[in-house]
């Protein structure tokens, strides 16, 4: 009975991407005492039960409208390690606050920006200050990366970055250069020409692979 409850708890705890399914399979193997019970009939029965369970789990959908809720920043150290210690976390938070300050000055803040994804035709509408920017998008099967292809209004600008699912929506991160270029182009469409927007890309000196993005909360 305890073994069954443990299996159920593990199944409920995972978001079942392909990677998560593999991880769950390994953990279940440990709980069951190995990858095989030694009994082909029992092994097949377990496999069928798990196959039915995993097959019924719905893959997360990006479809819907997301409202901008703040800046997201990711930095890695010069040797490629993710900044995860307290000092690194404080540095990331400080950069996020500074970028937020810049964007607020330019009119980009919660309540002024949103993006709607339409999975039927893989298109999106990114709205800033009431001005719509249209395009198409692609996501990886693992839902961990996204490419946005803007249309004629942005001169077919394209940017690819990471896509992270959060408790209330998603987080998209792009290279600092791509994000600042996007902001420049978007502000130009709004009649804003800010020459100092490039300073955003210089806020994390001393770190490699500095990425800036957007926290987006799914609209209820």
pLDDT per position as a tens digit, 124-156: 999 998 899 999 999 999 899 999 999 988 889
Residue 213 near residue 161 (C-beta atoms within 8 A): yes
143: which DSSP letter? S
Taking 50 as the pLDDT cut, the residues of the chain under it are 2-37, 50, 56-57, 80, 84-88
Residue 182 near residue 149 (C-beta atoms within 8 A): no
Instruction: Say how many C-beta atoms besides its own lie within 10 A of residue 166's C-beta.
Output: 13
Instruction: Say how many C-beta atoms besides its own lie within 10 A of residue 62's C-beta.
Output: 20
Residue 101: predicted pLDDT: 83
Residue 84 makes CB contacts below 8 A (sequence gap 6+) with: none
- 78, exposed or middle or buried, with CB in 10 Å at 0-12, 13-18, 19+? exposed
Residue 176: predicted pLDDT: 83
207: which DSSP letter? -
Residue 135: predicted pLDDT: 97
Residue length of the chain = 220
Nearest to 192 by CA among 136, 112, 123, 96: 112
Residue 73: predicted pLDDT: 84
Residue 11: predicted pLDDT: 46
Query: Can you tell me the distance from the alpha carbon of 174 to that of 154, in angstroms, rounded to the nearest whole number?
Result: 17
Rounded to the nearest angstrom, the gap between the alpha carbon of residue 11 and the centroid of all alpha carbons in its chain is: 23
Only one residue has tokens 């950069």, namely 95
């Amino acid at each position: 009975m305890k073994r069954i409850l443990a299996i159920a708890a593990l199944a409920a705890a995972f978001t079942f991407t392909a990677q998560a399914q593999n991880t769950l399979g390994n953990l279940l193997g440990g709980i069951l005492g190995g990858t095989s019970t030694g009994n082909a009939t029992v092994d097949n029965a377990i496999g069928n039960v798990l196959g039915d369970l995993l097959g019924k789990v719905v893959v997360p959908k990006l479809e819907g409208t997301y409202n901008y809720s703040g800046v997201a920043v990711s930095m890695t150290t010069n040797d490629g390690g993710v900044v995860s210690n307290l000092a690194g976390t404080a540095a990331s938070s400080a950069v996020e606050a500074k970028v937020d300050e810049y964007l607020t000055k330019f009119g980009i803040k919660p309540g002024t920006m949103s993006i709607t994804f339409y999975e039927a035709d893989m298109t999106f509408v990114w709205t800033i200050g009431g001005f719509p920017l249209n395009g198409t998008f692609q996501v990886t099967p693992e839902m961990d990366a996204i490419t946005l292809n803007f249309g004629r209004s942005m001169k077919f600008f394209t940017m690819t970055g990471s896509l992270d699912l959060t408790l209330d929506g998603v987080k998209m991160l792009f290279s600092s250069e791509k994000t600042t270029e996007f902001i420049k182009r978007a502000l130009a469409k709004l009649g804003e020409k800010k020459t100092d927007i490039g300073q955003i890309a210089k806020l994390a000196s001393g770190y490699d692979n500095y990425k800036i993005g957007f926290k987006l909360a799914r609209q209820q």
